[in-house]
Each structure stands twice: as structure tokens, then as C-alpha cells.
Structure 1
Amino acid sequence: MRLVQVLIPEGNRAPVLDALDEEGIDYAVFDEVGRGDFEAMAQFPVPPGGVEPVLEDLVAAGIREDSYTIVVPTETVVSQRLSALAEKFPGLRISREELYARAQDLAPANSTFFAFLLLSTVIATTGLLLDSAATIIGAMVVAPLMGPAISASVGTILDEPKMARRGAVLQATGLVAAIATAAVMGLVLQQTILVPPGLDITTIPQVAERTSPNFLSLFLALGSGLAGSISIMRGSGSTLVGVAIAVALVPPAATAGLGIAFGPPGVVVAATVLVVVNLLAINVSALVLFYLSGFKPIDAGQFEGVRASVFSRVVVLAVAIAVLSIALGAVTWTTYQTQSFEQRVSGELQQRFDEADVEGVELLSVGVDYEPIDLILGNEARVNVLVGLPRNETAPPDLAQRWDDQLSAEFDREMVVRVGFVEEQLSEGDVAGSEPATGDGTTFGGGTLSESESGFGPDAPTAGLRPGRSEPRGDGESVAGRPSVDRTVWVPSLLCQ
């Protein structure tokens, strides 16, 4: 419920009160003695959905735009006379006057806006480098990006060009400032011991997430824009919705800045495309929702001009999103293709072992190194296979080439197959019949390794694998003091194909 207070200009008391009577609104009238151009003040309660139409009636009855009209939210109204009024003005949508005021409040002073934005960027950049999702979310609570996005759309709908222009400028300059802040922070951190020398930021999962954007990122931005618009129209949850809007903008901007500082140009391009697409999607979704909700300028004669302006801006934003979404579509398609290819190759090799196509060795892990850029450029796929070799067995000399020929023919794609062998040795263990294990407790009995051990480079067969360390004493007991028994342990071999 809202409590409305309006000053009635001299000579308009009767028509204003008649308008309230026609709407069935209970009111109180007080004589105005402070100013000579107003004769009274009327005060009345009205549901949120009734504020806009009632004020339109009062303007038609003689309430001037330069007079004072105050709309105050009420905590509680105790009366049985308001049920008919609530039925007459259903809905929770606020009036355009309230919408305008809230949009103004959401776009703070420039000094406040940039202070909070830069602090948010610093926290988000720290979260990216620490690979901490919690830190990144905490930074979003500080980010003030919801206000400019909403005020730009509200200014367009209500034909308030100054508000619309300020909202657009704050968004553009704010994101540029965020990228620059992250870049400077990254350059400074490289000169300290806070980050490892030669850090490859693409190996950080939180950074990699923002450098491989797909169409799901677009849904985040569209949903955030719609949620922000609804929260303003309904007057609830704007702080939490602001977090969602900031999530779509600040982390990608910080990622682009880190890309500038640490060098990978692909990071800069991908993150910049993501942040621009998200920015446009938030604005177009908010603009469309405000328009469809029926908001319009106070001056009815401006409505046609506003409708044309909204239509043209939506078209421009939609075209820009469509063009930039080509990159999102390409990433989505190539990611799906490469992941599908990796699964098929792994499944094919596993099937060959299950069917005893390869005898004398045990499949431990399969890793496929095939990135989206390899698919686009037609580069060869790199397949890394780790197998266990029993004692006194000789590694098949042609295994890598045989698999290369078979997989290349099966998938019609050039491949390079690298096979590493892990030899079986006999050590003194503590439990008879236990599963073969590495010295660090990793069990190979199931025929698999952890994901971190699936791919390997020139030194790969030794990566992540250590021989058993129990050395039998002369008295027949192991170092741990337990009776020694034979146990098979896989240890790395330098045999590679």
C-alpha cells in the first residue's frame, strides 16, 4: 500500500477532490498556509498498482508538474474500506514515478560508483588467481553494476535521455575501468612472489571458465537482466539480483585484464567478447520487459517517439548480440565436437582391451589432447595411453603405430599416439594379496589412474608415479615392523612409444 500526498494548486481543490471521489478513494484534506500558490494538501492511501492511474487523473484535474507529489510506502494500513480499492487496482507493479526514483537511486554518484567497482574488481581478480569461487561471489556483492543497466533502460522507456545516457556511460566506462584495474593488478603481481613465475592463467579453472564462453553464458545475462527489471518493478530482492548481474560482468572483465597482464591474447579476446555479449543481453532484456510491462512517459504525446526509440535500440542490440554470439556458437560447437571425440577415442581403446585385442598389457589410462582450436585449424589429435607391462614381458614395439593406424582410419582424422609403459616389479609389502599400488597409495588393480595422471609429456611415464618404498630388513621384517610379504607394485618405466 502507498500513502500519496499532493499539494493542490490555488483554484483546483474541487476538481481534484472530485477525481478522488470518482475513484472511490478515501482522503484527508489539510489547508496549506505555507505558500500562496497552493491552497490545500490531499492525503490518501492507494494500492501500488493504482498510483499511476490516480496520479494521471489528478494531473488532468489540475495538479501541476511543478507541484509536490509524495509517494510513501506504508508498513500497515488497518481499514476495511480498502478491499474494493485493492480489487479495482490489482497487481504489484509500481508507478512510473516510483520507477524513475528507484532508477535514480540505483545509479550512485560517480565517485561512489567507481570506488565500489574498482574494489570489486580487485577482489574478483584475487578470487580468479586463487581459483576461489567464494571470493568471486563476495566481490559481486560489492559491485554496483545493476544500477547503470537499469537506469539506462528506464531512461529510454520514460523518455528521460539524461538518465539513459548516464546509465550507458557508466556501464561502458565502468567495464573499461574494471579491465584496466585487473591488468594493472596482474602486472604488479608478476613482480612479486605472490604468483608463481611464468604462471599460465589458462590452467586456472576459474579463468578457463571465462575463456570458453558458450550459449549458456547468454542465458545467464538474459536471466540477470529480467530478474533485475522484475526486482525494481516489484520492489524486492534488488541486492541479490545485483549479484547475479555483477557475476555476468565483473569476472569476465577481470579475466580480460589478467589476459592483458599475463599475455595470452586468446584470453583477452574470449573474455572481452563474453563481457560485451553479457552487457548487451542484460540491457536488451531489461528494456523489453519494461516496455512490455506498460511503462510510458508522463506526456502521452511522447509515447510514439519512445516506442520507435525502444524498437530501434532493441534491434541494434539484438543484431550486435547475434554477431558476437557467432563466437559463442563456435565455442559451443567446437567444445561439443572435441569432447565427443575424446570420449569416443577413450571408449574405442577400452573396447579393444575388453575384447583382448591387445594381450600382455593392462590399460591404465587414456588421455586425449584435442582442443577446439585444433578442430578449427585441422590439427592432429594427440592420444596419450598409459599401460601396465607385466614382469619379464617385452613391450610390443609397434603398439603405438598400430593404434595410430586403427584410430586414424576409424575416426578419419590424423592422430599421434604416444604409449607409455609402467613395468611390474616385486616389492616387500605388508598385506598379502593386496591390489597393486604405487608408493603413494594409488591402486592400479582397477586398471585406471587418476585424471591428473592420464596425460603426459616427454617425462610423462614417471609423472605422478613412485615406486614402493618398503625395504626388507635382514630379519625378515619390513621397515614398518610387520612381517614382509610379496606384493606386486607398478613402477614407472622409461619405455615410451
Structure 2
Amino acid sequence: MLHLRMIVPPDRTRAAADLIESTVGTAHLVVLPGAARDPAGDVVMCDVAREAGDELLRELRGLGIDKDGSIAVQSIDLSLSERADAAERESPGEAADAVLWEELTEATHEESTLSVTYCAFMVLATMIAACGVVLDNAVLIVGAMAVGPEFGPLAGICTAAVRRAPRLAVRSLLALFVGFAVAIAATTLFSLAMDALDLFSRAQLDAERPNTRFIWQPDPFSFVVALLAGAAGTLSLTSAKSGALVGVAISVTTVPAGANAAVALAYGELGQMWGSIEQLALNLFGIVLAGTATLYAQRALWDTQRGRWRRPSRKGR
């Protein structure tokens, strides 16, 4: 269940309340006339099943409440209410399949914004991966994959494509390319420093490296895994399954490929560098392609259920 708290201009309170009452999957409607001070208005609260949340938010925004008042949405971890249970049963579909597009846009906006913290995570993840590459240590590679924050901008690109949000697309692309550029540049300098300390060596980079050789030798399986990871990552975001997102993070060779490119650049190994960049580009493209297709499929699924969210008003019950 979701909890909605709104500040509604008085002239639209009746329309908002009627809309909530006529929407399948809502419960616990509360109207507090004149309770809001900034901005001035009425406070309207209700609970709604996640399955019906996106449609209700769309209709409420159609009333202009987000412009002249406010709409806040919170997830309810526990609701002990027979009425809430009935509201969830009334709602078509399953909560796990529902997509809250406003929530997804907000989440990807935050995760795809270029910031010092984002760049710091990118740099640290790439440096950890560089150590894993040189030492041929799969544990370090997996750790670097989990630390890397690059899926945020990738999800932002997918969301922007489906929602036709050019600003989100530009922000996500900027974070993605600048983040990798900064990380690769910093890791190249890091590799040179490690070489000066006799902790890295060209011989280690040129060795067989059976555990990490795949990083700079892309093949069809790389693209297949990227497609699968893109779909899984998108589903994890739309269903708020953070555990699944961690699994996606450690399944795709993006940060390790950037790290191998940086170490190879430091030693002038251009063949490995370009192979790593090809691997990186292949994975990024596969994730975006699959993620966008997944979001289109989810939107089409829920569009077929429109028109099932209205019921007779419960007034007088």
C-alpha cells in the first residue's frame, strides 16, 4: 500500500476527494479543511494499493494539485486494516508488477545526477577493479562491480526514452560519460603510481589472467548477459527489489572494463585498451536496449488495464 498526503487548493478539494473515492484500490480517505498553512489549503490523505497508484497520481496531477499544492507519496510497510486488505483485493494485477512512473522518474533523477559523490564511487570502484585486473582476483572484480553506481544513469536513459524526457536523458548521459572519463583518467594515474611503487607491473597485465581475461575480450555472451542484466535491473527498480539490483551490478562487466582500459593505457597496451572499451560499449548498449524494451513492455501491460480503476462512489456506505 501507498500513503498519499496532499495539500489541495480549497476549490479542488471536492474534485480530489471524489476522484479518490471513485478509484479502485483506495481506502482511509481523510479531509482536513484549512489545515495547511504553506501553501494554504486543505490537507487530503488516503491510502491506495500500489497497483492503482500510478493512475491515481496521473489524475491528481491533472487537477493541478502538484502545481498549486503538493503530493507526497510514502510506502506503507505495515497496514493493519481490513479496509486496506479489501482495497488491495479490489485492485487488478499484483503490486509487484505495478510501475509508479513518477517514483521511477524521481529515483532515476537522483541516481543519474552528476555529483562529487557519484564520481567518487566511480573512481573508487574502478581503482578496486584495477587491483583485481592486475592481481587476476575475481573477488576484487565482483566487489568493484557492486560498488559502481553506473546503473543509475543507465536506468535514467531508459526512463527518459520511454517517458520522452530529454532533460533526464541529457543528465543521465552526462553522468555516465563524465563519470567513466573521470574514473578512467584517475585510475590511469593510480596505475602509474602503483607501478612506481612496484605494486603493479606490465608482466602482471600481460600474463594469462584466466579469471579476468574476459574483461577485454568481448564475445556474443557479453552482449547476451548485458541484455539479461538490463531487463533484470529495470525490473528491480520498478518493483523496488534492491537485492536483485545488487545481483545485476555484479553480473555486468562495465566498471572492470573501464579499469582494464585504464591500466592498459598506463602501460601503452593499446590492444587491451581498445578491447576493454569495446567490452564497455557493448555492455552499456545492451543494458540500455534491454532496459528500454522492458519499460515499454511494462507500460503496454498496464495500459491494457486502464479503465478498470473506476468504481461507483462509496459515499453513503
Correspondence list, 1:383-394, <5 A: none
Q: CA shift at 1:228, angstroms?
A: 1.3
The 1:185–1:45 alpha-carbon spacing in structure 2 relative to 1, beyond 3 Å, is same
Q: CA shift at 1:260, angstroms?
A: 1.4
The amino acid across from 1:48 in the alignment is R
Instruction: Indicate whether 1:99 and 2:101 are aligned.
Output: no
C-alpha distance in 1, partners of 2:154/2:214?
A: 24
The 1:197–1:2 alpha-carbon spacing in structure 2 relative to 1, beyond 3 Å, is closer
Partner of 2:9: 9
C-alpha distance in 2, partners of 1:261/1:227?
A: 34
C-alpha distance in 2, partners of 1:153/1:190?
A: 39
Structure 1 stretches of 5 or more lacking a match?
296-497
8 Å CA contact 2:104–2:237 kept in 1: the answer is yes
Correspondence list, 1:57-456, <5 A: 57-61=59-63, 63-86=65-88, 87-92=90-95, 93-196=98-201, 198-237=203-242, 239-241=245-247, 243-244=249-250, 247-294=252-299
Partner of 1:455: none
Could you tell which deviates more after superposition, 106-115 or 118-127? 106-115
Structure 2 stretches of 5 or more lacking a match?
301-317
1:335-361 C-alpha deviation (Å, 9 max, x unpaired): xxxxxxxxxxxxxxxxxxxxxxxxxxx
The 1:58–1:194 alpha-carbon spacing in structure 2 relative to 1, beyond 3 Å, is closer
Aligned residues: 295
Could you tell which deviates more after superposition, 66-75 or 92-101? 92-101
Q: CA shift at 1:133, angstroms?
A: 0.6
8 Å CA contact 1:15–1:62 kept in 2: the answer is no
Could you tell which deviates more after superposition, 139-148 or 83-92? 83-92
8 Å CA contact 1:207–1:255 kept in 2: the answer is no
The 1:9–1:89 alpha-carbon spacing in structure 2 relative to 1, beyond 3 Å, is farther
TM-score between both structures, scaled by the size of structure 2: 0.84
Q: Secondary structure at 1:90's aligned position in 2?
A: coil
8 Å CA contact 1:145–1:242 kept in 2: the answer is no
Higher RCO (CA-CA < 8 Å; seq separation 6+): 2
The 1:165–1:197 alpha-carbon spacing in structure 2 relative to 1, beyond 3 Å, is closer
C-alpha distance in 1, partners of 2:189/2:64?
A: 58
The amino acid across from 1:127 in the alignment is G
8 Å CA contact 1:47–1:89 kept in 2: the answer is no
| Structure with the bigger percentage of helix | 2
C-alpha distance in 1, partners of 2:112/2:64?
A: 32
User: Max radius of gyration: which structure?
Assistant: 1
Instruction: Indicate whether 1:46 and 2:48 are aligned.
Output: yes
Could you tell which deviates more after superposition, 54-63 or 126-135? 54-63
1:294-346 C-alpha deviation (Å, 9 max, x unpaired): 18xxxxxxxxxxxxxxxxxxxxxxxxxxxxxxxxxxxxxxxxxxxxxxxxxxx
C-alpha distance in 2, partners of 1:270/1:257?
A: 12
C-alpha distance in 2, partners of 1:210/1:233?
A: 29
1:260-305 C-alpha deviation (Å, 9 max, x unpaired): 122332211211111011111111111121122118xxxxxxxxxx
